[in-house]
């Protein structure tokens, strides 16, 4: 890229995309270290890491140094990881070399969410140098269940938070929230027998089939939300049996509930109450996130507020459980939600530059005294 000399955000974005930070890889820690390097020499910045069980960094916090601990912070919360590149030959460019094609910048993570991360880093660095009460949290493992978000929440523990911006892919619109997620593993159990005498056993796969047949007619109690929309259920995985000539004694499904409620107990209770079910385990429990449209914080921002929630979940589902009530949490970043996770993932160059201006303006507004 030839733009980097006069655009620090594009320079940083190029460096971030060059790091293969696929979830669970060492590249995640490399991204955290590269971000931390942006704050070297910034006396107003305090940098801290939270370790993963293996000792590698799981999350990064950049916060004001020496600021009154009672001063509420505007927090930008981003993630370092990307989804895998399953077939690099399908890409028109090297997925780990940011390539400009017209106004588009192509590369894995260009949209989700290294462009948002880069814009947040540049804006936070500028704001901290002015003494503004802003902070940046960067996590790992977001793409595989927000695994690093608890470490990010720990780093924020004890710090007053005024608002949270998650710079995911929203085309620079302010998105007020998203549904949560409840992932379950549901099991049926049978009795193994020879495949030639199935009457001597009990078929766990057939038991699961009976359960699944009931879902459309009398499934779990799904509810709606005036802004987040209807809850949904998807059975994404089924596994049972081992070979054709043995009656299967166990069958499991993986269920993805997208939820709009705080209490998911009625959903897990429904599955546990089914006569065929012997075990239900919770694999992922992420809260729904919503900021009311009339929240005063929104009035001071220069971006359009979307009429739709995000279709995906974010680290906000973890962070919101550690915040005071009515702290605004929004999804707001330069990425293009229509191309995330895909071949030739890209972002608008102009959108990245605009995001820096929008985030810097949000920080300035946070620093400004309230109107009389």
Structure confidence by residue, pLDDT tens digits, 211-251: 999 998 899 999 999 999 999 999 999 999 999 999 999 99
pLDDT band at 67 (very low <50, low <70, confident <90, very high): confident
Same domain, 169 and 187: no
Q: How many CB atoms lie within 10 A of CB 47?
A: 18
Residue-range definition of the domain harbouring residue 204: 180-286
3-state secondary structure 83-129: CCCCCHHHCCCCCCCCEEECCEEECCCHHHHHHHHHHHHHHHHHHHH
* Of 286, 317, 342, the domain-final residue: 286
Alpha-carbon distance of 144 to 370, in angstroms, equals 40
Same domain, 300 and 276: no
What are the φ/ψ torsions at residue 74 (nearest 5 degrees)?
-90, 115
Structure confidence by residue, pLDDT tens digits, 243-284: 999 999 999 999 999 999 999 999 999 999 999 999 999 999
For 282, the token pair is 């919770």
Share of the chain above pLDDT 90, in %: 92
For 307, the token pair is 């009429």
Dihedral angle computed from the Cα positions of residues 25, 28, 31 and 33, in that order, rounded to the nearest 10 degrees = -100
**pLDDT of 44 strictly over 60:** yes
Report how many domains make up the chain.
Answer: 2
Same domain, 105 and 200: no
pLDDT at position 5 is 45
173 classed as catalytic: no
Residue 329 lies in a domain: yes
Same domain, 199 and 302: no
Q: How many CB atoms lie within 10 A of CB 231?
A: 22
pLDDT at position 6 is 53
Residue 341 lies in a domain: yes
pLDDT at position 13 is 98
Which of the residues 15, 20, 28, 81 is marked catalytic?
Answer: 81
pLDDT at position 2 is 42
Which of the residues 15, 20, 30, 142 is marked catalytic?
Answer: 142
pLDDT band at 4 (very low <50, low <70, confident <90, very high): very low
Residue 372 lies in a domain: no
Minimum mean pLDDT among 54-68, 108-122, 351-365: which range?
54-68
* Of 270, 286, 302, the domain-final residue: 286
Residue 100 lies in a domain: yes
- Whether the CB-CB separation of 182 and 91 falls below 8 Å is answered with no
Mean pLDDT of 351-361: 97
What are the φ/ψ torsions at residue 317 (nearest 5 degrees)?
-60, -30
Structure confidence by residue, pLDDT tens digits, 137-187: 999 999 999 999 999 999 999 999 999 999 999 999 999 999 999 999 999
Residue 33 lies in a domain: yes
81 classed as catalytic: yes
Alpha-carbon distance of 372 to 359, in angstroms, equals 24
pLDDT band at 372 (very low <50, low <70, confident <90, very high): very low
* Of 286, 315, 348, the domain-final residue: 286
Dihedral angle computed from the Cα positions of residues 299, 300, 301 and 307, in that order, rounded to the nearest 10 degrees = 0
Q: How many CB atoms lie within 10 A of CB 347?
A: 33
Q: Can you point out the beta strands (E) in 206-353?
A: 224-225, 229-230, 232-240, 250-259, 277-286, 289-290, 329-331, 346-348
Task: Kindly report the CATH number assigned to the domain that includes residue 344.
Answer: 3.40.630.10
């Amino acid at each position: 890229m030839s733009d980097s000399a006069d655009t620090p955000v594009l320079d940083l974005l190029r460096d971030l995309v060059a790091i293969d930070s696929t979830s669970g890889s060492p590249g995640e820690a490399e991204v955290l270290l590269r971000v931390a390097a942006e704050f070297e020499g910034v006396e107003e910045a305090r940098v801290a890491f939270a370790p993963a069980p293996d000792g590698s960094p799981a999350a990064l916090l950049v916060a004001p140094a020496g600021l009154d601990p009672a001063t509420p912070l505007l927090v930008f919360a981003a993630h370092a990881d990307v989804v895998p590149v399953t077939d690099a030959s399908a890409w028109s460019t090297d997925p780990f070399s940011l390539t400009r094609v017209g106004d588009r910048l192509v590369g894995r993570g260009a949209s989700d969410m290294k462009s948002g991360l880069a814009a947040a880093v540049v804006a936070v660095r500028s704001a901290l140098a002015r003494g503004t009460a802003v902070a940046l949290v960067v996590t790992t493992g977001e793409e595989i269940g927000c695994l690093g978000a608890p470490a990010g929440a720990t780093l924020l523990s004890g710090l007053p938070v005024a608002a949270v911006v998650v710079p995911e892919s929203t085309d620079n619109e302010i998105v007020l929230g998203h549904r949560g997620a409840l992932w379950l593993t549901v099991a049926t159990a049978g009795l193994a027998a020879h495949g030639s005498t199935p009457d001597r056993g009990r078929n766990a796969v057939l038991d699961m089939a009976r359960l699944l047949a009931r879902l459309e007619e009398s499934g779990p109690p799904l509810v709606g939300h005036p802004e987040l929309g209807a809850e949904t259920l998807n059975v994404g995985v089924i596994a049972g049996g081992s070979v054709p000539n043995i009656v299967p004694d166990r069958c499991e499904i993986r269920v993805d509930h997208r939820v709009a409620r705080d209490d998911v107990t009625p959903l897990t209770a429904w599955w546990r109450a089914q006569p065929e079910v012997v075990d239900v385990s919770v694999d992922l429990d992420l809260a729904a996130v919503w900021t009311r449209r009339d929240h005063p914080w929104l009035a001071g921002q220069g971006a359009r507020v979307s009429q739709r929630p995000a279709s995906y979940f974010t680290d906000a589902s973890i962070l919101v459980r550690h915040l005071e009530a009515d702290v605004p949490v929004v999804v707001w970043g330069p990425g293009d939600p229509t191309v995330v996770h895909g071949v030739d993932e890209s972002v608008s160059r102009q959108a990245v530059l605009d995001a820096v201006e929008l985030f810097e303006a949000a920080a300035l507004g946070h620093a400004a005294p309230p109107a009389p």
